[in-house]
A = this chain, B = another copy of it.
Amino acid sequence: MVSNFISSHGGSIADANQHSDPTCGYFFMRVEIEAKTLPFSLEALREAFAPIANSFSMDWEIHDSNRPKRVVLMASKESHCLADLLYRYHSEELFCEIPCVISNHEKLRSMVEWHGIPYFHVPVDADNKQAHFDKVEELILEHKADAVVLARYMQILPAGMCDHFPHRIINIHHSFLPSFAGARPYHQAHERGVKLIGATCHYVTEDLDAGPIIDQDVTRISHRDHPEDMVRLGRDVEKQVLARGLRWHLEDRVLVHGNKTIVFA
């Protein structure tokens, strides 16, 4: 009925993906419509489609791919994921706006400001966690973020904040989850003697490192690699997995169902 609706109004479908999950009985769909082929504004399209969606009990969203999403980046001291995302933004590989970067350290200010992006230093210590996160959340709201990326932010978000931005906070964890959740995953991996290390890009939920996985990848290591080598080798995997996951999110290719994702890549 989706394609019927579109074609009955003269609309042209640029790309379409479907997935039906026999276990849960759900049907998932992503349709890219060439906006200029429709006689509607976005708002009129939503109104016209709503009755159909309701009659089929759809969960649905319509996004304007012409409007760049606003992405707030958060980082600590490690710069590789932040620098990588800034480069991809700057070179227009990622289609988005970055209204600001928030960090609990001063260290990366110069790199960020060179890109013409405001940098907010919001310190955190054991005593001011609540105040820190209140300030962070205020900045996120003030900058009208559509998404928040934890580019190796290294602080555990309070449950309340996770709830306020469901499926909109993206984290990169430096292990192949569910292995080595929590702190110092490369040291855990070294201890266990694994032969591949990885990284996982996932939506943040209140369960630490247990939210819906968007993408993962791995790289090979050997007995010669100390934890510091693994940190170095892992950086390249983290950067790529996070950039790919964010790209899919920005293009509305990631659907979340329960604790899993459907990625129409």
Contacts and interface: CB of A to CB of B under 8 A. Distances in A.
Interface of A: 3-4, 13-16, 18-23, 79-80, 83-84, 87, 91, 93, 114, 176-180, 192-196, 198, 212-218, 222-224, 226, 232, 235-236, 240, 259-263, 265
B213 A193 contact: yes
The DSSP consensus for interface residues of chain A is: mixed
Contacts of A261: 193, 223
B83 A193 contact: no
Given A18-B16, A87-B83, A263-B223, A216 B240 contact: no
Contacts of A22: 226
Contact of A216 (B18, B196, B236, B265): B196
Contacts of A212: 193
Contacts of A177: 179, 192, 194
A13 B20 CA distance: 10
Nearest to A239: B236
A203 to B, nearest CB: 11
Contacts of A216: 194-196
A236 B79 CA distance: 18
A7 to B, nearest CB: 8
A19 B194 contact: no
Contacts of A79: 91
Contacts of A176: 176, 179, 196
A260 B193 contact: yes
Nearest to A83: B87
